[in-house]
Amino acid sequence: MLNYYMDKECNRIEKMKKTLLACLFGLSLGACVSAADVQEINIAYVKAPFNLQNIVMKHNQMMEKEFAKDGIKVKWHDITSGAKQTQAMAAGSLDASAAMNTASILMANAAGNPIRIATGVAHPTNLFAIVGKPGPQMKIEDLKGKTVVGPKGTVLHQTLVAALTSKGIDPKDVNFISMDLPKGMTAMMAGKADAALLAASGIYKANEGGAKTITTAQGLIQPNLVFTVSGKFAKEHPQLVERLVKVNREAHKWIKDHKQEALEIGAKEHGISVKTAENLADGSHFYDTLTQKDLDELAADQKFLRENGMMEKDVNIKDIVLPTALK
């Protein structure tokens, strides 16, 4: 027993020595504190629509291996909805998200919940859709007066509003009920809702069951999924943020170098065929560094969200994008 506690104390001292050496080599005091103080990093695991980098990262325990050297544990939280992710960050129970839509980020920051973009993930334009219940093919115009279910305050919600306004329909003329993706699809397939907001493999599964896609996000909005951290975590642990970004980019590279294996892992996680997984991957448009175009689209998204009453006030786009996202 004595040896156990001695070993534990030696490990603690060794960790402090490493931190001190990092300081001596020029790291900021904030980074030194972060390495010594953090015991656990809580990250949202988001496999939908088809976030292959997150699936591979978790499957291969890439985050766990990166931080094990510092005695930092990585805890994954299965939270798909961007709105729920932002709520968890506000509550302090979530430090980062491996994939969050920019609509949720903008709305959260406008509401006083600082969330920062650390790096890019995907531009999955065709992987978000409004799907009608089994029966005759519906058009966007047919949604007026109907019940639509899906996650509120997300890119899918933004897709619905954009679709309705494109046809001159006031979103208030649709009975929108906030519901997560699995429950939404179940309700729609059972006929308890006229349409559901679905993503990626959910669209395929619904179509196989007789439901018909009304429209995808293409031509309506420009979906952008990014890796995020809470404002508090970004401020207090900048060096850890850099390492989160590093692992995210390593996952992207691993996918490129092991495409078939990555697709098989993704297919198994989503319960779909490898061929369907390949189609979803092709439509995801994975990336890892934001460009000026991404910043311009963030500004355009903000304008849309403000005009449609989905954001309380404007935010400074540059304030929510960390330097790590642009290099």
Residues 6+ apart with CB under 8 A from 62: 56, 247, 250, 251, 254
Angle at 57 between CA 101 and CA 18, to 5 degrees: 110
The percent of residues in the chain predicted with pLDDT above 70, rounded, is 89
Give the pLDDT band of residue 312 (cuts 50, 70, 90): confident
The amino acid occupying position 256 is K
Could you give phi then psi for residue 248, rounded to 5 degrees?
Answer: -60, -45
The closest of 225, 228, 222, 200 to 86, measured between CA atoms, is 228
Of 17-31, 77-91, 171-185, the range with the lowest mean pLDDT is 17-31
For residue 5, which phi and psi values (nearest 5 degrees)? -70, -35
How high is the pLDDT of residue 24?
A: 42
Assign domain 126-216 to its CATH superfamily.
Periplasmic binding protein-like II (3.40.190.10)
pLDDT the model gives residue 35: 56
Instruction: Give me the pLDDT at residue 14, please.
Output: 53
Residue 55 has pLDDT above 90, yes or no: yes
Q: Where are the domains of the chain?
A: 38-124+224-326, 126-216
**Lowest-confidence segment of 92-101, 175-184, 210-219, 305-314 by average pLDDT:** 305-314
Query: Do 213 and 129 contact (CB within 8 A), yes or no?
Result: yes
**Quick check: 235 and 322 in contact, CB under 8 A?**
no
Give the 3-state secondary structure of residue 75. strand
pLDDT in tens, 120-159: 999 998 899 999 999 999 999 999 999 999 998 889 999 9
Can you name the CATH fold of 38-124+224-326? Answer: D-Maltodextrin-Binding Protein; domain 2 (3.40.190)
For the chain, the average pLDDT equals: 90
- 137: buried, middle or exposed (CB in 10 Å: 19+, 13-18, 0-12)? exposed
Residue pLDDT, tens place only, 4-54: 444 444 454 454 444 444 444 434 444 444 456 899 999 999 999 999 999
Percent of the chain's residues with pLDDT above 90? 83
When pLDDT is averaged across residues 231-240 and rounded to a whole number, the result is 97
Is pLDDT at 322 greater than 90 in this prediction?
yes
Its pTM surpasses 0.85 = no
pLDDT tens track for 192-212: 999 999 999 999 999 999 999
d(CA 58, CA 76): 8
